[in-house]
Structure 1
Amino acid sequence: MTRTLLWRGMLAGILAALLATLVARVIAEPQIDLAIGYEASHAAHHAPAAAEEPELVSRDTQKGAGLFTALALYGAAVGGIFSLVFAYGYGRFGRIGPRSFALLLAGLAFLLIVIVPGIKYPQTPPAVGQHETVGIRTAAYFMMIGLSIAAAVIAAHVRTALLRSLRPIDATLLAVGAFALVVGVGQYLLPVINEVPADFPATLLWNFRIASIASQAVLWGTIGIAFGLWAEPVLRRA
């Protein structure tokens, strides 16, 4: 059964990637074009005599096949991992149906992988930031994702332990407090990275971040809905 859920999760991830690509193409890519235009004008103003570097991959390819390929690979990977986590967790958290549990799990993944890390390291357009710090920025962001997931695991164990002596609502509130404490301490200890130029348009930055969150919301929402629909018949037969 796990193998069946695995390939269905990967298919759900690819479908989610297709829809997320459409959303990103409509609302995120125009913001990236504006950010690239800002970078080009800024570079021309500071170094007008510098020769223009050749474009290795055209913007049309980046916005079309390149964007879908990257999101399809990402969607298939996270969809497969999602299905394995679903297979492990289903039936362990009360009497909840597969579709409801898939949606709950997708919402939790969206919170832990997108929202919580984005509080510390919000998304910025590719044209913003220094090339020399790509490595440390990437490492810090993935550390924030790992911290968010670890905090959720700790909170789950705290809630389980407190249920022996407290009511469920009290145990849940204390577990949420433990999650917030771990995340807050981790965000305080992780390095601060802010490379957005002072004269970068605030509206452009805001629109890009909203578009990035919307694309991720479509991705995870589609995975939760599609996988729940495709997993339900498998679990009924089992």
Structure 2
Amino acid sequence: MTARAFLVRGLLAGLLAGFATFLVAYQVGEPQVEAAIALESSGEHSHDESADTGSASAADPGAEAAAGHSHDEADAVVSRGTQRTWGLLTGSLAVGTALGGLVALAAATAMGRLGRLGATGSTAVVALAGFVGVALVPFWKYPATPPAVGSADTIGQRSDYYFVFLLVSVLAVVGAVVLGARLLPRLGAWTAVLVAAGAYLVLVTVVGLLMPTVNEVGDFPADTLWYFRRASLLTLATMWAAIGILLTGFLRPLEQRTTERTRRRELAASL
């Protein structure tokens, strides 16, 4: 089984996973984004009305509406309808395909280095570790926030925090997998997995507690924030689960054929 075989199947699995992610994001995530945008718009509208009372609106009753209309047209470089349909689909397919290829290459690298696990077992471990290290744990420390949450002045700083913690989490999960593989011959499968997982959790917990906490929610409705973050996590889980399941399924027939050829060669050599 070559890396090319893994990569081709990984790209296909990622493409299909991207489409599944689009469906979940459109049905579950987009309504929460729309709700957040509506709250943000209503807040800005109220602020504008209170600031402009007795000025332009008093002199010309149509000035405020015209200004708001021209402002919306200037800001809408890409319409919201395009963002939530074709834009979301294109982004989901692109990210899914790229991520599927990366998972496939990582699984090809891990095959033969994780004890007796073959192609499908290695792929399942890589997909699970990737979800935990790339999606779940960074989300725990710096969860996704809707458009109306957070100050525009701190968006760069918040992004830096997230990517630093993401890098720490990815390096930690790679180290945990390597540690587990080295401990496997001496401690057995269960003990090696528990020690490696425990080491990873301790490291990311300590780093997470040391890194700055971001709390810019303000008076944003808690229920809307919860639904948005739940939808975001569900979308991430869909992407990773679909890649792991599909890639494992695509590799299983190839692994079975490879195993059968190996058995035939061994049988022929023993005659």
**Alignment-derived partner of residue 31 in structure 1:** 32
Q: Could you tell me how far apart the structure 1 residues matched to 2:190 and 2:122 are?
A: 20
For 1:144, the equivalent position in structure 2 comes to 165
Question: What do the CA deviations read for 1:76-114 (whole angstroms, capped 9, x no partner)?
Answer: 111111110010112221333533432332222111111
224-233 vs 47-56, which deviates more? Answer: 47-56
- Corresponding residue for 2:15? 14
In the other structure, the counterpart of 1:228 is: 248
How much does 1:22 deviate?
A: 0.5
Partner secondary structure for residue 95 of structure 1: coil
Tell me if structure 2 keeps the 8 A contact 1:99–1:225: no
**Map of 2:209 onto structure 1:** 188
Is 1:41 the counterpart of 2:42? The answer is: yes
| Mean Cα deviation higher: 94-103 or 82-91 | 94-103
Percentage identity across aligned positions? 40
Select the residue among 232, 237, 247 that pairs with 1:217. 237
Instruction: Compare the two structures and name the one with the higher helix fraction.
Output: 2
Q: Return the letter of the residue paired with 1:229.
A: G
Q: Provide, for residues 181-206 of structure 1, a one-character-per-residue CA deviation record: whole Å limited to 9, x for no partner.
A: 21122112322222212x21111111
TM-score (norm. length: structure 1): 0.89
Q: Tell me the residue number matched to 1:85.
A: 106
Structure 1 gap segments, 5+ residues each: none
Residue correspondences, number: 237
Q: CA deviation at 1:213?
A: 1.1
Give the direction of change, closer, same or farther, for the CA distance of 1:171–1:232 in structure 2 (3 Å limit): closer
Larger Rg: 2
What one-letter code is carried by the residue in structure 1 that aligns with 2:30? E
Q: CA deviation at 1:118?
A: 1.0
Residues 150 and 216, structure 2, Cα contact 8 Å, conserved in 1 = yes
Q: Which runs of structure 1 show a deviation greater than 6 angstroms over 4 or more consecutive aligned residues?
A: none
Displacement of 1:125 = 1.2
Decide whether the 8 Å contact of 1:155 with 1:176 is kept in 2: yes
Partner of 2:82: 61
